[in-house]
Chains A and B, each alone.
Chain A
Amino acid sequence: QQQVKQSPQSLIVQKGGISIINCAYENTAFDYFPWYQQFPGKGPALLIAIRPDVSEKKEGRFTISFNKSAKQFSLHIMDSQPGDSATYFCAASAIGQAGTALIFGKGTTLSVSS
């Protein structure tokens, strides 16, 4: 119940294309869904996050779509650029619930070809 399942494991997209990464969760207590971006040799960095009271959040070229009934959320990267090549992690947690922490998906390695 604590798992967050992420797909695909790897993704190759042409420059200017749309990258889509999907995640699914089971625990209905989760109420915070962030996406992290990690470059080689660096720590994960928060990219964008959503709470379950909205179905979509957009920040620049990055959009989270959230489907509460299906317990799924996804990251869309519009106009993908070579600089977006990195590993992306979805995560989930129950904010305010003692004894919890972010549970991460297994990551998606994105390569944007020029």
Chain B
Amino acid sequence: DTAVSQTPKYLVTQMGNDKSIKCEQNLGHDTMYWYKQDSKKFLKIMFSYNNKELIINETVPNRFSPKSPDKAHLNLHINSLELGDSAVYFCASSQDLRGPATPNYGYTFGSGTRLTVV
């Protein structure tokens, strides 16, 4: 079973469209994240949710709206897509930040969604 799974893997869409990316984790983690990886491979945090509560919202356009129906799922909806939104979007999860860090603490990433806006 895949620990953090994202769908779809590839997404090609026209400017102005609205699209969603779904993420699910089966690790029992309490915290989930969305990262954006640009063409130069730079990974930048976008959002973080802890037990369905938004705890990080970096300076991301409000066209991006995350939704967490439960602690195992974190979806990303993007309105009015622009060319500059083209990137690889990664979902990740980790154990509760407020708990002690165990020796195997770490973020588990999904395999990414490559979004291409044309």
Contacts and interface: CB of A to CB of B under 8 A. Distances in A.
Interface in B42-86: 42-45, 48, 55-56
A110 B90 CA distance: 22
Interface of A: 32, 34, 36, 38, 41-46, 49, 51, 87, 89, 95-104, 106-107, 109
Interface in B82-118: 90, 92, 97-99, 101, 105-112
Nearest to B4: A43
A45 B56 contact: no
B45 A101 contact: yes
Interface residues of B, number: 25
Contact of A107 (B41, B45, B105): B41
Contacts of B108: 46
B83 to A, nearest CB: 22
B28 to A, nearest CB: 17
Contacts of B41: 38, 87, 106-107, 109
A42 B56 CA distance: 24
B48 A51 contact: no
Contacts of B40: 106
A42 B48 contact: no
Interface in B1-59: 4, 33, 40-45, 48, 55-56
A83 B116 CA distance: 29
